[in-house]
Structure 1
Amino acid sequence: MYAPPPEPSLRVNFVSSLDGAGTLGGKSAGLSGPEDKRVFGILRMRCDALLVGAGTVREEGYHAVRLDQQRRQWRLALGMSEFPTLVIVSGRCDLDPAQPALADAPVRPIILTRAQAEPGALGEVADVIRAGDEHVDLVAAVGQLRERGFAQILSEGGPTLFGSLTAAGLVDELCLTVSPLLAGPGAGRITAGPELPAPANLTLRHALLADGQLLLRYGR
């Protein structure tokens, strides 16, 4: 049910409370559950590249993107790479090269940044792709990822990256888990950034019920 379309696509995955919170206590883990984690793993197994904002890497404490042996063998049998490639969007290149997501990565990660940024030591642990001058040009950056053969791209946020991808017209699918919790005021939504000139319409592909959580998949 989570097989990607045959054409190149960009899929976004998030979890939210009933009242729209994207985190509990600053992290998304408190909203998750066993079936949401299962979908999380399936989506990572299905993607060629995992696209994440630098703030999310820091705040969520990202580890290296690794898969268990069964999922690695599944990917290899389909002609995919053994591991998906981690791609981090960072306009300021203010990441620690020793951060586990970079230093322990099984395949060399990619940093998407702007032309004037100085990657410094990040260039020793990751490939650097420049797109845009004052801000990262996501349309151009995704185009460069496509040229590298990354057909299926999965983004896990954060909210600002999700908002920017939406504004750029790059979101083809949204996989959203709705957790049966009322988080109350304070937490931000799953999307952030400037207002859109018009809402983007998506169509419901499926709705699954598991342990009180709704597992939703929407697409163009």
Structure 2
Amino acid sequence: MLWPPRDAEITDDELERLYDYPDGLDRPWVQVNFVSSVDGAVSVAGRSGGLGNEADRKVFMLGRDLCDVVLVGARTALVEGYHGVKAGEVRASRRARLGLAPVPPIAVVTARCSIEPTSTLLTSTSVPPIILTTDAAPVERRDALADAGADVVVAGDELVDMAVALEALDDRGLRRVDCEGGPKVFGALIEADLVDVLCVTFAPLLAGGDSGRIANGPLPPAPRSMELESVLHYESALLLRYRKSGT
């Protein structure tokens, strides 16, 4: 069954209820947000923007409205042209009602500190980004980002340990985690069994080509079981929300 029915529209309040985080969190809660073509492509011409639609963009922005922090991989941030979240890009009244900070920071996963100090993540933002990196990242790169205002966190030796990274976010009071990709970050979260919710939009497109899938990384010890929480539709696109079984 599809909800809402094709002759009805879901209200903003209902949409918020569906996509909001649990109350009283005592640990980071990770909601992953992705869009895919119906044949499994994660991008068109190298970017996910070619797959989105009005409803997908609304849910994407709702994720930023509801979170404490946006989590994203460095490559996704670069390819998609990320800048920091600005006050006018989130709904202030909603965040105030939920007791959230006016603007969520962006936390960037980058094992080698590949973000430049001149990146718009640092120069075009209302709050400094958090850089989640490793001991293997060149010290001069880490220092340059810190000098530019970033909160640099070492969370692993060669690769970013996602459990350590989430602990660092938790230490900063950032428990409502909105992960916007990319596939390697999603794959690392799956491997560590740290995905609580997956919000995925299936765009009515056959993209073909050699585009990758939404998750890419080492196999977990076993597949993670998920339960379908909601099904929405917009024109011919499906917006699905899955929750980890037992949570």
TM-score category, normalised to shorter length? over 0.9
Counterpart in the other structure of 2:113 = 93
- SS of 2:57's partner is helix
Aligned residue among 115, 128, 136 for 1:116: 136
CA distance in 2, matches of 1:157, 1:102: 19
What per-residue deviation string (whole Å, max 9, x for no partner) do you get for residues 5-62 of structure 1?
Answer: 2224111000000000000000001100000000001111000000001111111111
- SS of 2:93's partner is helix
TM-score normalised by length of structure 1: 0.96
Q: CA deviation at 1:97?
A: 1.2
Give the root-mean-square deviation of aligned CA atoms. Answer: 1.3
Structure with larger Rg: 2
- SS of 1:87's partner is strand
8 Å contact from structure 2 (residues 65, 90) kept in 1? no
8 Å contact from structure 2 (residues 84, 127) kept in 1? no
8 Å contact from structure 1 (residues 73, 82) kept in 2? no
- SS of 1:55's partner is helix
- SS of 1:165's partner is helix
What per-residue deviation string (whole Å, max 9, x for no partner) do you get for residues 181-213 of structure 1?
Answer: 000131111111122221111100000011111
Q: CA deviation at 1:170?
A: 0.7
- SS of 2:228's partner is strand
Aligned length: 220
Deviation larger for 6-15 or 26-35: 6-15
- SS of 1:30's partner is helix
Distance 1:84 1:34, change over 3 A: same
Q: CA deviation at 1:84?
A: 0.6
Q: CA deviation at 1:73?
A: 2.6
What per-residue deviation string (whole Å, max 9, x for no partner) do you get for residues 68-113 of structure 1?
Answer: 3771232123221000111001110011111112211101111001
Counterpart in the other structure of 2:197 = 173
CA distance in 2, matches of 1:170, 1:70: 26
The 5 A counterparts of 1:127-166 are: 127-166=151-190
CA distance in 1, matches of 2:37, 2:58: 18
- SS of 2:131's partner is strand
TM-score normalised by length of structure 2: 0.86
CA distance in 1, matches of 2:165, 2:110: 12
Aligned residue among 186, 207, 219 for 2:231: 207
Provide the identity percentage: 45
In the alignment, structure 2 segments of 5+ residues that lack a partner are 1-17
In the alignment, structure 1 segments of 5+ residues that lack a partner are none
Q: CA deviation at 1:67?
A: 4.5
Counterpart in the other structure of 2:5 = none
Q: Which amino acid in the other structure matches residue 243 of structure 2?
A: G
Counterpart in the other structure of 2:3 = none
CA distance in 1, matches of 2:223, 2:212: 19
CA distance in 2, matches of 1:34, 1:184: 23
